[in-house]
Amino acid sequence: MKKRLITGDRPTGRLHIGHYFGSLKKRVEMQNSGEYDPYILIADVQALTDNFNNPEKVHKNVREVAMDYLSVGIDPQKSTIYIQSMIPEVAELTVFYSNLVTIARLQRNPTVKTEIAQKKDLFGESVTYGFLGYPVSQAADITAFEGEVVPVGEDQLPLIEQCHEIVRKFNSIYGDTLVEPKAVLSEAKRIKGLDGNEKMGKSLGNAIYLSDTPEEITKKVMSAVTDPNRIRKDDLGNPDICMVAYYHKLFTPKEEVDTVCAECRAGKRGCVACKKQLAHNIIETLRPIREKRAYYEARPEEVDRILIEGTTKAQKVAKETMKKVKKAMKLDYFE
Ligand code: SF4
């Protein structure tokens, strides 16, 4: 019996290579292992928690994210891709679960605390009820589909812990109904931005997108931060503080990387040539993804059909869970 796996992304922009190395690659591997039944949600409602004033952005990016999924190898025959807002049971469960979580507990959640601090520009001193409560809706996302496995990064473990607490409390009050998910720590690494920033993102302008053209990739790589002490080609360099060397390690074969680093240290390598070589390798690595994405870009009706089919399948599963939940909560009138 395949384990139900729940994962997803907020549609706030196209996906970049940070997402690819951070989660997408692993998801495709898990999908293809045959051990899992993946449900991949495009979390538009969650995206609205900090983009409530920009619904166009969220709307537009639902299809962008779907195309990114398909282009990296998420296979709609093996994975169910669905749109969160089209599953009303998730919103309903969020309301029921809200009675089982205190405000103080949400405020203590380390992940929420960090994210609120990062969004000071949006919220000022007073965070919205929706944003503070997003771990509750995330618990609904997981339990609506009886999720058994949730791949997460270490920084997201407190969200799964919050989900466990909700499930346990629900089951202790209303009887054994909800499935408690297991967090699987992904070993995937977090990829730094081209400017050396720990985070890669659109707002930071330091990301290479899966859909970037070869020209865009080349332009971005040429602007990457290098060893600032190198002025001339024969200056001895330090690849350990150069983002070009960092990206070579992701996109260039090991022997070539060794040569890059050795020549840099010996002052036998020019930064311009080094960047051109990297740009070429990134362009070639992403070529199959870019080509597959172009296929779907030219066929929006096919993307919509995949989303409709995935969402319809997800709706059926969530309805079954809701029947059990309402029965347990004595809300099953007239049945
Ligand atoms: Fe970086 Fe390459 Fe220049 Fe060395 S030669 S500093 S690795 S870009």
> Which atom of ligand 1 is found nearest the CA of 242?
1
Q: Residues 169-190: what's their mean pLDDT?
A: 90
For 320, residues 6+ apart whose C-beta sits below 8 A from its C-beta are: none
Distance 221 CA to ligand 1 centre (A): 12
Cα 188 from Cα 156, distance rounded (Å) = 13
Distance 276 CA to ligand 1 centre (A): 11
Q: Is the CB of 230 under 6 A from ligand 1?
A: yes
Report residue 11 as tokens: 């549609």
- Asked whether the predicted pLDDT for residue 188 surpasses 70, the reply is no
pLDDT at 281: 97
Least confident of 106-110, 121-125, 139-143, 321-325: 121-125
pLDDT band at 48 (very low <50, low <70, confident <90, very high): very high
Give the 3-state secondary structure of residue 126: coil
Whether residue 169 contacts residue 175, with contact meaning beta carbons closer than 8 Å, is answered with no
Whether residue 147 contacts residue 4, with contact meaning beta carbons closer than 8 Å, is answered with yes
Cα 166 from Cα 184, distance rounded (Å) = 19
Q: Residues 32-61: what's their mean pLDDT?
A: 96
Q: Model confidence over 262-304: pLDDT tens digits?
A: 999 999 999 999 999 999 999 999 999 999 999 999 999 999 9
The partner residues of 151 in beta bridges, in order of sequence, read 184
Q: Which letter, b or e, does each residue of 71-108 get, where b requires 16 or more Cβ atoms within 10 Å of its Cβ?
A: bbbbebebbbbbbbbbbebbebbbebbeebbeeeebee
The partner residues of 150 in beta bridges, in order of sequence, read 183
Whether residue 105 contacts residue 97, with contact meaning beta carbons closer than 8 Å, is answered with no
Q: Is the CB of 245 under 6 A from ligand 1?
A: yes
pLDDT mean across residues, the chain? 94
pLDDT at 200: 87
- Asked whether the predicted pLDDT for residue 224 surpasses 80, the reply is yes
pLDDT at 111: 87
CA 169 to chain centre: 28
pLDDT at 333: 95
Distance 307 CA to ligand 1 centre (A): 44
> Which atom of ligand 1 is found nearest the CA of 275?
8
Q: Is the CB of 244 under 6 A from ligand 1?
A: yes
- Asked whether the predicted pLDDT for residue 186 surpasses 80, the reply is no
Q: Is the CB of 264 under 6 A from ligand 1?
A: yes
Give the 3-state secondary structure of residue 40: strand
Q: What is the pTM of this model?
A: 0.92
Q: Is the CB of 248 under 6 A from ligand 1?
A: no
Domains present along the chain, CATH in parentheses: 3-192+300-328 (3.40.50.620), 212-294 (1.10.240.10)
pLDDT band at 203 (very low <50, low <70, confident <90, very high): confident
Q: Residues 170-195: what's their mean pLDDT?
A: 90
The partner residues of 152 in beta bridges, in order of sequence, read 185
The β-bridge relationship of strands 3-9 and 36-42 is parallel
- Asked whether the predicted pLDDT for residue 187 surpasses 70, the reply is no
pLDDT at 314: 98
- Asked whether the predicted pLDDT for residue 189 surpasses 80, the reply is no
pLDDT band at 170 (very low <50, low <70, confident <90, very high): very high
Q: Which of 241, 274, 280 to mutate to test the pocket of ligand 1 (most atoms within 8 A of CB)?
A: 274
Cα 188 from Cα 250, distance rounded (Å) = 12
Cα 140 from Cα 134, distance rounded (Å) = 10
Q: Where are the beta strands (DSSP E) in 63-148?
A: 80-83
Report residue 3 as tokens: 């384990």
Q: Model confidence over 98-135: pLDDT tens digits?
A: 999 999 999 999 988 888 888 888 888 789 999 999 99
- Asked whether the predicted pLDDT for residue 157 surpasses 70, the reply is yes
Length of the chain measured in residues = 335
In Å, how far are 214, 215, 225, 288, 329 from 275, measured between CA atoms? 13, 13, 10, 21, 61
Q: How many CA atoms lie within 13 A of 179 on its CB side?
A: 20
